[in-house]
Amino acid sequence: MTDETHPNVRQGWEPLPHETLPRPNFFPAGLAMGITFLLWGLITSWVILAVGIGLFWASLAGWIYEILREPSHH
């Protein structure tokens, strides 16, 4: 009833291929916070706007760097 290589696979079913997930990071949350500060800064103060722009670009650059650093799936 079970396959020798995958003991949890029922007869007639195929096992799922192994898929690696990216490492968790805080860049998406930082990007969202940067956008929030950016928009909030548009209606309040240039200081908050500058913080939002800086946080947005730092998070975007970090996220892109993480994506480029991942091992290739090919």
Mean pLDDT of the chain, nearest integer: 87
Q: Residues of the chain with pLDDT > 90: what percent?
A: 57
Q: What would the pLDDT profile of 30-57 be if each residue is shown by its tens digit?
A: 999 999 999 999 999 999 999 999 999 9
SS3 category, 72: coil
Q: Which residues lie closer than 8 Å to 62 by C-beta, 6 or more apart?
A: 25, 27, 30
Structure tokens belonging to residue 72: 């290739």
> What does residue 61 show for φ and ψ, rounded to 5 degrees?
-65, -40
Residues 42, 74: Cα–Cα separation, whole Å: 44
The answer to whether the beta carbons of residues 56 and 31 sit under 8 Å apart is yes
